[in-house]
Amino acid sequence: MINAGQLLSTMSMRNRFKKTIQLQDEDVDSDSGPSQTDSPAPETSDPVKLELWNKKHSLQTEVNKLKRKHESSLFATRKFLFPLGVLFGILLAFAFVQPSDIQDMHAQLTLLMDQYDVTLPQLPDFDFSRFETEWNKLRSNIPELWKFNRDGREFQVGERMKARGLSAEYPVVLIPGVISTGLESWSTTPEYRPFFREKLWGGLNMLSQVTFNRDRWIAAMMLDPVTGLDPPDAKIRAAEGIDAASSFIQGYWIWSKIVENLAVVNYDTNNLYLAPYDWRLSYWNLEERDGYFSKLKTTIEGFKRRQKKKTVVAAHSMGATYFLKWVESPEHGGGGPDWVENHIEAYISIAGTHMGVAKAMAAFLSGEMKDTVQMNPAGSYVLERFFSRAERRKLFLSWAGSASMWIKGGDTIWGNSTFAPDDPSEDSNVLDANDYLFQKKARRRHA
């Protein structure tokens, strides 16, 4: 039989155990206060009860961890991301608001309130003109890359030409330079199907491919070392249209400003043509595979036939070395010695590499591109972070077209360490490079 003392002792222990559990439950529901791990163990020597308490303690600890994890994820998805999304949406909407629209905002709001009989207390201190001023200041400080809405300044040059009475006279053909033309994937093999008709060179898509599919991107862009054409299973072709070389990447424009201002003086797709090409190929393969020079010749002849006028050719960098001699050669274009005279009104060379450029040699030998290709900060970061110089050098060496910018002419054009072609031969006061270096070293020793 159980006496009264044992019964009271058992009931007291049971009540104490219940209070301990209640305190643990309160700790779970509250954000602050003593944690469950700080609750005291039951005052008993019964191993069964101690084991049960330990299991209860461990289970309750796991429940607390799961609840805290749930609360953290709930904060990340609802309490933080939703207001952030609302704020971003408001800022994005205001990015498309023109300053002239803000001037009419007060009047439109007043008409809307009168139509639906909505009355609001007077707000004498609220000035919409001041709001417009503050918005203009904020918008002027936004980096140019993030101005989604244009303000018209990109057409200023064209507007000035139009004000002088200038308008479209001759057809214009634009020939981009090296790396300017965007390159698209036309491969239908399984590993390249996700990138079909996407730009592998140019645009933000190129940065994502270099970052996440670098090996596959390099394999597609690299040419076959024997044929100089596409490697097996890959097919890369130049993009078409004026957008093919308007911008290399967001924030890095190439021909877009010229096209925009020519459009102001009545140029469009009927008298303006951009001739994109796969600049990786050698000149021979460019004609053999794509028929680029033949297409360019046909386009210029078409302008002459339809509009009865010659064409103005504007070429940049590597594009300046194209076409003119090929079209007159009897072995290639077959245009004859008078073709350029009869079809070309003017030729504009924008940094044309007629005699080559020393920077091209550095890019091929070392993979260094800082002096050859200038990119925006995002492009430069991806290039240096995910694309080493050794990989760039290997890729450059497979592009025979870029080798056309190597230095030509030898010592006759460029001179050497002892003379330059433009040195006056009778002037004895002119020092060559060796004399200068010798005198410079002598000054250092005496110093």
Q: Which residue has the higher pLDDT, 369 or 256?
A: 256
195 and 163 inside one domain: yes
- pLDDT range class, residue 413, cuts 50, 70, 90: confident
| Average pLDDT score over residue span 58-80 | 64
271 and 363 inside one domain: yes
Tens of pLDDT, residues 139-178: 555 544 444 445 667 788 999 999 999 999 999 999 998 8
pLDDT of residue 438: 44
**Residue 183 falls inside a structural domain:** yes
116 and 129 inside one domain: yes
pLDDT of residue 148: 45
pLDDT of residue 169: 94
400 and 415 inside one domain: no
pLDDT of residue 57: 75
**Residue 126 falls inside a structural domain:** yes
**Residue 377 falls inside a structural domain:** yes
Global confidence as pTM: 0.60
| Average pLDDT score over residue span 192-217 | 85
pLDDT of residue 33: 44
- The average confidence (pLDDT) of the chain is 75
Among 41, 60, 87, give the residue marking a domain's end.
87
pLDDT of residue 260: 93
| Average pLDDT score over residue span 103-113 | 63
pLDDT of residue 410: 80
pLDDT of residue 110: 67
pLDDT of residue 138: 56
- pLDDT > 70: what percent of the chain? 62
pLDDT of residue 178: 85
**Residue 96 falls inside a structural domain:** no
List CB contacts of 290: < 8 A, sequence separation 6 or more: 237, 238, 277, 278, 281
**Residue 92 falls inside a structural domain:** no
**Residue 372 falls inside a structural domain:** yes
**Residue 95 falls inside a structural domain:** no
* Residue 307 Cα distances to 80, 271, 303, angstroms: 62, 9, 6
Tens of pLDDT, residues 73-91: 544 555 667 777 777 777 7
CATH of residue 321's domain is 3.40.50
391 and 414 inside one domain: no
pLDDT of residue 392: 79
- pLDDT > 90: what percent of the chain? 28
234 and 175 inside one domain: yes
Closest CA to 328 of 317, 336, 320, 316: 336
164 and 291 inside one domain: yes
Distance CA 19, CA 25 (A): 10
pLDDT of residue 269: 93
Closest CA to 249 of 373, 382, 379: 379
Total domains in the chain come to 4
Q: Examine the pLDDT at 268 and tell me if it is beyond 90.
A: yes
Tens of pLDDT, residues 365-406: 776 665 555 555 555 555 666 677 778 788 888 888 877 888
Cβ count within 10 A of residue 256: 15
Distance CA 96, CA 94 (A): 5
Q: Examine the pLDDT at 186 and tell me if it is beyond 60.
A: yes
Handedness of CA 328, 330, 335, 338 (dihedral sign): positive
Q: Which residue has the higher pLDDT, 137 or 422?
A: 422
pLDDT of residue 290: 94
Tens of pLDDT, residues 271-330: 999 999 999 999 899 999 999 999 999 999 999 999 999 999 999 988 888 777 788 888
**Residue 196 falls inside a structural domain:** yes
64 and 108 inside one domain: no
48 and 25 inside one domain: yes
Range of the domain at 74: 4-87
Tens of pLDDT, residues 211-235: 788 888 999 999 998 999 999 889 9
- pLDDT range class, residue 411, cuts 50, 70, 90: confident
